[in-house]
Amino acid sequence: MGSHAAMPDIGAILSQLTLEEKVSLLAGKNFWETVDIPEKGVHSVKVSDGPNGARGATFKNGPTAACFPASCLLAATWDVEAARNIGNALAEEAQSKGARALLAPTVCPHRHPLGGRNFESFSEDPLLAGKMAAQYISGLQEKGVAATIKHFAANEQETCRFTVDAHISERALREIYLKPFEIAIKEANPMAVMTSYNILNGHHADSSDFLLKDVLRGQWGWNGLVMSDWGGTNSTAESIQAGLDLEMPGPTKWRTAEAVLEGIKAGRVSEKTINDRARNVLEFVAKLRCFEDPTILEEKAINKPEHQRLIRSVGGQGLVLLKNDNEILPLNKERLANKKVALLGFAKDGLIHGGGSASVNAHYRVTPEEGLRAALGDAVEFEYAQGAHTFRQLPLMDKMVVDRDGHPGWTLDFFLSEEPTGEPSSSKHSDVPTYMPIFVKEAWGSAKATGRFTPKQSGRHYLGMSGLGRSKIVIDGKTVYEQKENCPDSMAFLLGGVKEPEVQWDFEAGKSYTMEVITLKPSKSGGIALLDGYLGFRFGFMTEEEHNRDLLSEAVEVAKRSDLAIVFTGHTPDWETEGQDQISFNLPSNGSQDRLVTSVSAANSNTIVVNCTGVAVGMPWLENVKAVVQAWFPGQEAGNAIADVLTGAVNPSGRLPVSFPRRLEDAPAHGNFPGEYIDGQLHVTYEEGVFVGYRHYDRSEEHRSQVLFPFGHGLSYTTFTHSNPRVTASDDAEEFKITIDVTNTGSRAGADVVQVYAGAKVASIEDPVKELVGFAKVHLAPRGSKTATIRFNARQLAHFSESSKRWELKQGEYEITIGRSVQDVIAKVTVSAAARSYEL
């Protein structure tokens, strides 16, 4: 952080507070702010989501914000400087929303390709994730904004994320799942840590002595603020005693003065612990200079040109060229002069972010079509076709419907009773049949949306509905669909990721129908406590003609009359989102995108696929297409970043931060994700132990063949050679330095990523063959050469021993592998290490 006045005397402030006031500091004031006590000079801190943009206080349609590339793309740059620059810019964005702390970064490793929030995090490899996170945190905090590293720990799935019990060996925890936290905390010292929702080895993370006392504050010596995930506090005395300083959001559910004082009286929590927790909150407030200037600024949308340039630049750096047969890429005006190019799939959509906490109301979004038109201008004739139905929810029913007074839209009636009978207590007009009050908790027991629908065409049309509580669709007094249970994950409902069953109903053109959606208050929200008792529903509609339109044939015809076809595939935020894991390894919906690529590539031999997902996906059509670009979620400049790489304005230098398996069955966690129910509770056992991602595929030639694209893979438009690999050890053999000369032998400027792996020359069956120990990104002009230098320490060769509870390095020879990817080996060098043991 920059220079500022001396820290206030926290002890003196603490001594002025009553016990009740200290307790009040241990939970939020509201959804985004900590508690203030103005008469005692204590001020609030405002926080904001999230990892790829500071959204501010409003989930939807608030002031616009810059949308940065997702962390999976950031990791694909393998560029720690890019991570620091993104952190700097995110700090400025947070400040524009009046926030002094950002709820980011997310660092949990990618355990399985179906992980719903993988895109928010960096990598399957803890070193890459930890190094990128450390620079991201440093970038935030040097600009005066606190980082909140999350979710501590073992939040690798969304299925039953509030209650799932993850069973993980201590070795796997230490070597894989805690490691990115350890690296980032020791290198960058984030001001805050957020606990995860899940249970770990029988203990909720927010009250885990192992996580909070033993590891975080004990062995790692970290001293900052621990906050819960939103609605992720599960006890009163236990969470306070374990080390959870701040329950979020507020007002408190667990930490009322009465509940805490009762805990003190019963001896379950001590006054000293209350003081410790309150001190951590006050020190957090002080570090963020709230005692000097308590102002929480009004939220503003500030669209900075320098942020636009950074987002475009980093987006282009993180795109990974997976395949490029016959050098079909890059495209340029000369090659495409007077040619026809088919733009298919999501060409007119900007798939810029995933769903959930990472979603922002972006300042703007550049679509691939817009980016390519700007790059190639009038030299090329473009033709577009959608090609595939990809919706997860039917669009809201907002046409051909009038409310009770005859105005376009719906009448919403609210009732105090649990059933919507008699006269409503309140009514209002709504343009669309949806209701989601996020921050104003209205005490209604039930609600009903009513509209008169007069269809323009006859047919068996489609309806879709979901509610937080039990709900039903009624047409002319007849129940046509009933949701008999609460929504299983209310956060998924809130964020648009609930897959609604589709109901078909025969309508006659010109005839009027009374449409009603009835929803009841949920007895429990189905997961996230902060939505307990809220009413919420949405109602979608699509005509038979729209629903069943043959988009595929249209796209194939466009492809046939084009010289080149580019198919844009991917996940919209309702398919890849917080709140639920992916439902399929294949692109949604129901194989429609795979059929599109397969059919287009059969019609046009020059087919290129650009895929926007935060995870590995199945590519059954890979052999039939000429090129594939993995574009992740590139942020608001998506179309420009994609066009930069496709046209060669940017030479692709991204490398995969995750392995792409051929089949879902080839994933190391397959069969142990998302777990199994025992007595009604989901349990997941991390049977694969430390063999996550490439560590698993590296075990044998058979396993390596299960990989479609290996960890670290990525192509370029130029070529690199490597020579003169050297390893030198420090006098005490605690540090190793690897150098290798890299030469750009092509005619284009480009960047290579030198990856260094290490492992015992004769690997034990219990240990990975090799693990990433360092990397360097080298930028080179045509024909230019540089020496890449990578350092790592001997402790990185050690493994955690569950018997000795230490890191043990075995005596022997270790093989240092330098590669273009984990499988594409450039050189190997052998070093010797003496046996030694390391403290935690």
Cα–Cα distance list, 278 to 426, 572, 610 (Å): 42, 42, 50
Question: With 50 as the cut, is the pLDDT of residue 233 above it?
Answer: yes
pLDDT band at 529 (very low <50, low <70, confident <90, very high): low
Span between the terminal Cα atoms of the chain, in Å: 29
Distance CA 563, CA 686 (A): 49
Which two three-digit tokens encode residue 752? 């290579």
Please list the helix, strand and coil fractions of the chain in percent, rounded to the nearest 5, in that order: 25, 30, 45
Mean pLDDT, range 781-790, rounded to an integer = 98
Per domain, the residue ranges of the chain are 10-287, 317-389+549-655, 404-542, 718-838
C-alpha 187/C-alpha 31 separation (Å) is 30
Q: Please, what is the average pLDDT of the chain?
A: 95
At residue 611, the 3 state secondary structure works out as: strand
Known catalytic membership, residue 229: yes
Q: Please indicate whether the domains covering 10-287 and 317-389+549-655 agree at the CATH topology level.
A: no
How far is the C-alpha of 438 from the C-alpha of 494, rounded, in Å? 8
CATH architecture of 718-838: Sandwich (2.60)
What is the value of pTM for the model shown? 0.95
The confidence score (pLDDT) of residue 7 equals: 81
Residue 141 CA to residue 155 CA, distance in Å, equals 24
Q: What is the pLDDT of residue 416?
A: 93
- Token pair for 205: 């993370």
Q: How far apart are CA 405 and CA 402, in angstroms?
A: 8
* Collapsed DSSP state (helix, strand, coil) of residue 250: coil
Distance CA 640, CA 375 (A): 8
Catalytic residue among 229, 245, 666, 752: 229
Digit-coded pLDDT (tens) for 369-426 = 999 999 998 889 999 999 999 998 999 999 999 999 999 999 999 999 999 999 999 9
DSSP 3-state assignment of 829? Answer: strand
> β-strand 146-152 against 101-102: which pairing, if any?
parallel
Tell me what pLDDT residue 2 has.
43
CATH number, domain 317-389+549-655: 3.40.50.1700
CB 527 within 8 A of CB 490: yes
Res. 508 pLDDT band, cuts 50 70 90: very high
R_g of the chain, CA atoms, integer Å: 28
Residue 254 backbone phi and psi in degrees, to 5 = -105, -25
Helix spans in 610-680 (H): 638-647
- CA atoms in the 13 A half-sphere facing the CB of 376: 30
At 252, which helix (H) or strand (E)? none
Sequence letter at residue 840: L
Spell out a b/e string for 299-323, using b for 16 or more CB atoms within 10 Å of the CB, else e. Answer: beeeeeeebbebbbbbbbbbbbbbb
Cis peptide before 668 (omega within 30 of 0): no
Contact present, 488 and 682 (Cβ < 8 Å): no
What separation in angstroms does the CA of 355 have from each of 532, 536, 611? 21, 18, 17
Which DSSP category does 40 fall into? G
For the domain covering 10-287, report its CATH number: 3.20.20.300
CATH class given for the domain over 404-542: mainly beta
For the cut 90, the answer to whether the pLDDT of residue 523 exceeds it is no
How far is it, in rounded angstroms, from Cα 730 to Cα 736?
Answer: 6
